[in-house]
Structure 1
């Protein structure tokens, strides 16, 4: 197993880096690197620039408009974009419903929706979780009943990320209440402007409006908005979540955040000595860096296995667990490095154009909100406790 990059792969990474530096707006890059809020416009504009270069969907095959890259190129692309301060790709269209439609959607759905995802003409959101149905997703209660040529949807979804921006949603609903829990679920699509859909914000502990609850009251969608076959939604959801969990590892993003942590630890001092030179804090940085290196090697092993034609195994669950925990550790260490300047809670300081009086260094303001926000990463996409149960069963036979 060779984990070294070839000269051709390194040249590819350099090509991506040079293009990003020439095409990423400086203001957008600054907002990402300094953890300022990004609006919908910046996200859409960056996706369209990537699409114009042919890089809008790095994991898609050529037949659907992707570049047809191998897994190494995909990994390097993600890493370079994170290093250069590019916005994180929105996963709901590109990494979730897009691959599901490729695998299970009708030809009509593929022809219509996949090009729109590439051009960012549709902003998708995910309708899986419900009050009382999170990790136990098979207990969901939302109903979809077929009346003539329409499905009638009734129920509620929650934790719908960026649903306030979305014009489309993919969701799970119970279409056969008499079937066993997993067998009675179907996957459907819906236009968010359909009468009967109500979106209400949920303001999270970091002061952000990132998630929502969505209500469906006799919402009618066309019959052909069903994805694949009725009753197969659970299988399609497992397929989708396998993509989501790998993405949650965010190795490139964590490497960029590690660099940020080291920079903060160089500027912050203890008794006149930079924190990065103090034994205690230096050891904490080294510990998380070692874990991140191990995570990246695990990911590279998955890539090497894919090169050899082998299917990934439990590594995807491991990536989700360790990747999310490393992200949390990095936020904790940045808070610790800044000390009392991280305590004032001022989410408004993340707004572009904010001109209030800063408390401490500029990089301190986002640290508290980031710390609170990243408490969620060990929960969404399947909580880490559930992932460990899966690993115990699959690897240890428990």
Structure 2
């Protein structure tokens, strides 16, 4: 593994760094405000509009859809340049894009499998965030086993008529369009008879109900479809072959460059908390037990970073994605949970003060993070599922 970046990559880094320095919103940078530190599961008042403004500024600068072909508005960026982009935006705590699913999943799927009409219609507005996308896969009884979905699409003339429900649909309350898995052959085996369609979220019969989390925020939703008409021209791939299309979309998800720098940044913030907290007449960071724990976290975060580099190396060699994706998902979410638990231990009684409460350390950020950290062990495939994948496919253990 070569951990050195090429001269071309370093020039790319400097170009990006200079652009960020000139364009990063004033409310960002360095440590950021309290709202900015909360991460992807937080969406406070005005946060969506701030992210939308930042997305469009990035698009104007040519920094959205880096890996996409130039003919579709991208930059044909290399894998290492995508990695550098993640490093540099994380370094300054830059706002997230608002159309993450559209950029990461929908666009690449359309580029590979969409008709020319579909590409011209949807791709430009994905990049510019003129149209926001969500993903309609999971259902109440088909979460980890998506192929068990029961949302139906019955043909009626030039349309499909959709009835059913999806759940845990991130950004559905903002979305204009949805990539939707529906069952179009009710008698076929569960992995057959599924079709992949594009659904206008503003269609009559679509109801979005935000799901309020323990933090009080609502970043994902349940979505109901009642006799929603979808033109047949919105079908991606062949009818009843949607499972193969869905797997390709998931391939783009799993092959995306993993952001392994959040853990390192969180450890850094935890160290600053330990430096500021009084404990037994001195600072918490002066206690040997605390220092040992912080060192353990730092080592784990570094290990996750280089595990991510292993994944990048596989892709640079043209190899298919390996087990690193599951390892990173499992390791990052587990470390995040334990980091926040330890912050609660250090805070003691102060850990009971909620976000932005008077007298709370760091305005209660750590309490908020603790409440939201459990969600990351579920999102993107539960940690239990990741354990099974690693056990069965990597270690060759028998199925339980």
Partner of 2:247: 238
Greater relative contact order (Cα 8 A, min sep 6): structure 1 or 2? 1
Equivalent in 231, 241, 249 of residue 222 of structure 1: 231
Could you tell me the TM-score, scaled by structure 1's length? 0.91
Check conservation: 1:152, 1:219, Cα contact below 8 A: yes
| Partner of residue 377, structure 1 | 376
Shift of 1:247: 5.3
Contact 2:158-2:232 at 8 Å conserved across structures: yes
Name structure 2 gaps, 5 residues minimum: none
Q: Does 1:321 align with 2:334?
A: no
- 5+ unaligned residues in a row in structure 1: which ranges? 350-356
Deviation at 1:25, TM superposition (A): 0.9
TM-score by structure 2 length? 0.91
Alpha-carbon contact 2:152-2:164 (below 8 Å) kept: yes
Contact preservation (8 Å) 1:95, 1:244 = yes
Q: Aligned to 1:277, which of 279, 286, 306?
A: 286
Counterpart position of 2:317: 308
Of residues 76, 97, 100, the one that matches 2:106 is 97
Residues 216-271 of structure 1: CA distance to partner in whole angstroms, max 9, x if unpaired?
00000111111111222222222222333465953122222222222212211322
* 2:18 aligned partner: 18
| Superposition map of 1:116-131 within 5 A | 116-131=125-140
Q: Equivalent residue for 1:183?
A: 192
Return closer, same or farther for 1:281/1:144 CA change in 2, 3 Å cut-off: same
Contact 1:116 1:122 in 2 (8 A): yes
Question: Within 2, Cα distance between the matches of 1:198 and 1:365?
Answer: 34
Root-mean-square deviation (CA), in Å? 2.0
Answer with 273-282 or 25-34: which moved more: 25-34
Aligned length, in residue pairs? 388
- Asked if 1:53 corresponds to 2:61, the answer is yes
| Structure 2 residue 117 is matched with structure 1 residue 114 | no
Aligned to 1:69: 77
Runs of 4 or more off by more than 4 Å in structure 1?
245-249
| Equivalent in the alignment of 2:87 | 79
Deviations 1:145-199 (A, max 9, x none): 1111101000011111121111111111111111110111111111111000011
Preserved CA contact (<8 Å) 1:338 1:364: no
Q: Could you say if the C-alpha distance between residues 134 and 17 of structure 1 is closer, same or farther in structure 2, counting changes exceeding 3 Å?
A: same
Q: Hey, what does 1:287 align to over in structure 2?
A: 296
2-side partners of 1:240 and 1:215: how far apart? 23
2:172 maps to 163
Greater Cα offset, 281-290 or 211-220: 281-290
* Separation of aligned partners in 2, 1:18 and 1:331: 33
Aligned position for 1:3? 3
Give 1:92 shift: 1.1
